[in-house]
Structure 1
Amino acid sequence: MSMQALNTTPNLEAPDDFYEALIEAHQGLSTEESHAFNARLVLVLANHIGSLPVLREAFEAARGS
């Protein structure tokens, strides 16, 4: 999958369902386990995106730049 630019427009079909699933994924985890889960999730999604320029755009967007 080749991506040219980061899509920052709302794109989730069911954002509330996504948020609920994310919270559920953290249920029962300690703070340390939760941080490790988040790190693994970021790496899985970064691999799915596969484009360093797009990932750099995401870093900037996440920092609020």
Structure 2
Amino acid sequence: MEFEVDKMTGHGDAQTLARAIVAVDPDAKVDVDVDARTVKVDSWMMADEFLIAFEEAGYQAKISKG
């Protein structure tokens, strides 16, 4: 699944987002592209779980690819 994340500007944001995802699913594979403002997640969990994690980390996100 892929998410679009607003206000992602640098490596620090990428680390914060990756930590938020791994907190939800420690086995998730995460690919953060700061320039494209996207986060790709390979996980068996539902996308909504990650949307909540993004929000709790202070980021607005939406699903771009399910």
Asked whether the two chains share a fold, i.e. TM above 0.5, the reply is: no
More strand by share: 2
TM-score (norm 2): 0.30
* Greater relative CO (CA pairs within 8 A, separation 6+): 1
Query: Larger Cα Rg: Structure 1 or Structure 2?
Result: 1
More helix by share: 1
